[in-house]
């Protein structure tokens, strides 16, 4: 209670004492300064610490901002590179597609020209084969007639029942007549195994139609397949590969 009373008395009397007593006022001010100096110094140190922390925080913030800026720049460059690679890939794919289309067009043109060429060559070969075989037959027939005293007769008859080719068709044969003998002959530029069987059927067709047995069956050709010769031997057909061999007839 005394302390409270004393405090109340100081609060009540202090203002008047400070105004009226200079020495007392000086004493109080000196006392206040002694008490206030450490607090001001402490506050100053605290302010310095706060300022240092602020500077550290600002420096760290600048570092983070710089690092973020570098990351953003790196990401931007990566995105640009990725976009450029994507554009390059798309351009490369486009070029590949264009080249593939161009190749397909060229290939189609080449194949079309090849087919056209094959058809032309096939037609030319067919005409050449027919013409060369006709020339061979005519030449050989002339040789046989002029040099060996035989008569060569070209026969072209219709097989209405299709016994030779399996359907109605014309049957062509060469007949050699010598001293009353009938020789049925095939004059061809080449003979294969199927050709040999066909010739045998044509000869039998002629024999049945004319009720006359051929004395001999002959094949005269410069090119007779090995298997065709085996068939001829089994069917009793004589083969000649040179016009000079016909002299033995």
What pLDDT is recorded for position 241? 81
What pLDDT is recorded for position 70? 86
What pLDDT is recorded for position 107? 66
What pLDDT is recorded for position 4? 73
Q: CA-to-CA distance for 153 and 21, rounded, in angstroms?
A: 175
- Please give the domain boundaries of the chain with CATH numbers for all domains: 149-248 (3.40.1350.10)
Q: CA-to-CA distance for 91 and 94, rounded, in angstroms?
A: 5
- Return the bridge partners of 185, or none: 174, 218
What pLDDT is recorded for position 190? 84
What pLDDT is recorded for position 45? 66
Query: Residue 159 in 3-state DSSP?
Result: strand
Q: CA-to-CA distance for 176 and 148, rounded, in angstroms?
A: 11
- Over residues 194-241, the pLDDT tens digits come to 999 999 999 999 999 999 999 999 998 888 999 999 999 999 999 988
* DSSP conformation letters of 6-74: HHHHHHHHHHHHHHH-HHHHHHHHHHHHHHHHHHHHHHHHHHHHHHHHHHHHHHHHHHHHHHHHHHHHH
Contacts of range 201-204, beta carbons closer than 8 Å, 24 or more positions apart: 201/163, 201/164, 202/164, 202/171, 202/172, 202/173, 203/173
Predicted structure pTM score: 0.46
What pLDDT is recorded for position 46? 61
From the CB of residue 249, how many other CB atoms can be counted at a distance below 10 Å?
A: 17
Q: What is the pLDDT along the chain (249 residues), one digit of tens a residue?
A: 566 776 676 677 767 766 777 777 777 777 666 655 555 555 666 677 667 777 877 888 888 888 888 888 888 888 888 888 888 888 888 888 887 787 677 667 767 665 664 554 444 344 444 455 666 667 667 767 776 777 888 889 999 999 999 999 999 988 888 788 888 988 887 889 999 999 999 999 999 999 999 999 999 888 899 999 999 999 999 998 865 555 555
* Best CA proximity match to 91, nearest among 99, 80, 101, 102: 99
Q: CA-to-CA distance for 198 and 172, rounded, in angstroms?
A: 11
Q: Which residue matches tokens 């050989």?
A: 140
């Amino acid at each position: 209670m005394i302390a409270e009373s004393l405090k109340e008395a100081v609060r009540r009397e202090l203002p008047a004492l400070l105004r009226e007593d200079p020495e007392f006022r000086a004493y109080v001010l000196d006392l206040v300064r002694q008490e206030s100096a450490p607090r001001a110094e402490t506050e100053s140190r605290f302010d310095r610490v706060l300022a240092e922390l602020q500077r550290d925080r600002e420096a760290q913030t600048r570092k983070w901002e710089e690092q973020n800026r570098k990351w953003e720049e790196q990401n931007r460059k990566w995105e640009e590179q990725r976009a450029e690679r994507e554009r390059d890939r798309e351009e490369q794919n486009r070029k590949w597609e264009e080249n593939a289309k161009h190749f397909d067009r060229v290939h189609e043109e080449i194949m079309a020209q090849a087919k056209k060429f094959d058809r032309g060559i096939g037609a030319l070969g067919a005409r050449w084969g027919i013409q060369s075989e006709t020339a061979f037959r005519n030449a050989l027939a002339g040789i046989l007639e002029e040099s060996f005293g035989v008569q060569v007769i070209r026969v072209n008859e219709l097989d209405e029942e299709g016994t030779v080719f399996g359907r109605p068709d014309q049957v062509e044969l060469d007949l050699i007549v010598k001293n009353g003998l009938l020789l049925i002959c095939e004059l061809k530029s080449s003979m294969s195994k199927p050709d040999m069987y066909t010739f045998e059927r044509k000869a039998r067709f002629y024999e049945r139609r004319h009720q006359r047995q051929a004395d001999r069956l002959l094949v005269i050709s410069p090119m007779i397949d090995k298997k065709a010769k085996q068939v001829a031997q089994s069917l009793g057909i004589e083969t000649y590969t040179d016009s000079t061999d016909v002299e033995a007839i």
